[in-house]
Amino acid sequence: IKRIGILTSGGDAPGMNAVVRAVVRTASAYGISCLGIRRGYSGLINGDIIELGARSVDGIIAKGGTMLYTARCLEMLTDDGLTQAANNAHYMGLDGLVVCGGDGSFRGAQALSRKGVPAIGVPGTIDNDIVCSDYTIGFDSACNTAIQAIDKLRDTMQSHERCSVVEVMGRRAGHLALDVGVACGATAILLPEREIDFEKSIVEKMRANRIRGRKHHIIIVAEGVGNAQDVADRIHTATGIDARVTILGHIQRGGSPTVRDRVMATRMGYHAVKILMEGASNRVVCARNNQITDYDIEEGLAMSKDLNQELYEVSQTVSI
Ligand code: ATP
């Protein structure tokens, strides 16, 4: 193969730049030229591209966000848009395309592969919700950002003997909330995947913890569970404890990627180019048991991944 393209799509995640760098550098090392396609699939449809050489990606491994910008592109969902994207990829002389994003972005990669553009997905999302991969790029950085913010909240909550109700990202998946909850010593973690008995798991626990001398509480609420203010109001009504809401929001998506994200992004980006060179198409790169591997996109997205049950049980036990 002579030329490949790289784009970032869907919600951004720390480590996307590190994927771009790894793809460009690996391609360059094997004498393959690389085009950066900007603003996700929109750039493919509109021809918004830049030439990327090994030196164009110097220093970006440490930067959050994505130098290629990202976007959601509704045109890709139409026949005309998809055909235009595939035609442009052929016109640009692309022998392969690496797409860093979430499952929606992989559907786009699958559709392009069917149109004769060999496309490979690399999981980049802070939610860790790509079912065929143990890990998605951005997760560790997002957890660390959340923890740094919550540690600061803890200082002020402790001084006032308040309860902090913190909403973290995760509409459909609670992986981020669970890791963050364990890492900040939350009294309770509300996850989309687990029903809880509010009275028993929160109210009674807070009362019991108070008797044991605990002066403040942190409750982690995954975005998809419901309104954090409702949770705070219910706590206040039931216990009389002053409960304050903090919604971490987009801050979780920013910042310099952690070591784990930089390393995973580099391994996954490298793998994506290697399999393109072997003639692969319609694959998603995954981490399984700390090995980097790949699956057919359809097969990969049909797999299932549950919350880490062991970690959930641990969190319940140590939060007294
Ligand atoms: P995140 O996890 O951050 O939401 P995502 O990749 O799942 O990331 P989506 O908005 O679902 O985000 O998808 C990103 C883009 O992928 C869409 O805007 C669209 O351009 C393309 N896409 C999604 N689904 C399809 C599909 N079925 N066919 C073609 N393209 C698609």
Tell me the per-residue pLDDT of 105-114, one tens digit each, with 9 for 90 and over: 999 999 999 9
Which residue has a Cα nearest atom 29 of ligand 1?
Answer: 108
Query: Do the strands 283-288 and 217-222 form a parallel or antiparallel pair, or are they unpaired?
Result: unpaired
pLDDT at 159: 84
What is the C-alpha separation between 213 and 77, in angstroms, rounded?
56
> Separation of 10 CA from ligand 1 center, angstroms?
6
What is the C-alpha separation between 123 and 103, in angstroms, rounded?
8
**Shortest-distance atom of ligand 1 to CA 13:** 3
Q: Which residues are catalytic?
A: 127
Q: What share of the chain is helix, strand, coil (3-state, %, to 5)?
A: 50, 20, 35
What is the C-alpha separation between 42 and 146, in angstroms, rounded?
31
What integer is the mean pLDDT of 175-189? 96
Q: In this structure, what DSSP letter does residue 304 have?
A: -
More reliable by pLDDT, 4 or 206: 4
> Separation of 43 CA from ligand 1 center, angstroms?
14
Q: Percentage of residues in the chain with pLDDT exceeding 70?
A: 100
**Shortest-distance atom of ligand 1 to CA 127:** 2
Tell me the per-residue pLDDT of 42-59, one tens digit each, with 9 for 90 and over: 999 999 999 999 999 999
pLDDT at 280: 98
Confidence of residue 214 (pLDDT cuts 50, 70, 90): confident
Binding residues: 11, 21-25, 72-73, 102-105, 125-127, 154, 162, 169-171, 223, 244, 250-253
The pLDDT of residue 72 is above 90? yes
pLDDT at 103: 95
Which residue has a Cα nearest atom 28 of ligand 1?
Answer: 108
Q: How many CB atoms lie within 10 A of CB 33?
A: 18
The pLDDT of residue 161 is above 90? no
Instruction: Show Cβ contacts of residue 304 under 8 Å, excluding neighbours closer than 6 positions.
Output: 131
What integer is the mean pLDDT of 74-87? 97
Mean pLDDT of the chain: 95
pLDDT at 158: 80
Residues having CB closer than 6 A to ligand 1 are 9-11, 40-41, 72-73, 76-77, 101-105, 107-108, 111, 125, 127
Confidence of residue 19 (pLDDT cuts 50, 70, 90): very high
**Shortest-distance atom of ligand 1 to CA 9:** 14
> Separation of 102 CA from ligand 1 center, angstroms?
7
Contact between 314 and 182 under an 8 Å Cβ cutoff? The reply is yes
pLDDT at 160: 83
Q: Output the six-digit token pair for 36.
A: 């950066």
What integer is the mean pLDDT of 62-73? 96
pLDDT at 216: 87
Tell me the per-residue pLDDT of 129-160, one tens digit each, with 9 for 90 and over: 999 999 999 999 999 999 999 999 998 888 88
pLDDT at 319: 84
What integer is the mean pLDDT of 175-193? 95
- Three-class DSSP category at 207: helix
**Shortest-distance atom of ligand 1 to CA 101:** 6
pLDDT at 157: 83
CA-based nearest residue to 35, from 50, 46, 45, 25: 50
Q: What ipTM score was computed for the predicted complex, to two decimals?
A: 0.97
Confidence of residue 209 (pLDDT cuts 50, 70, 90): confident
What integer is the mean pLDDT of 228-240? 94
Binding residues for ATP: 11, 72-73, 102-105
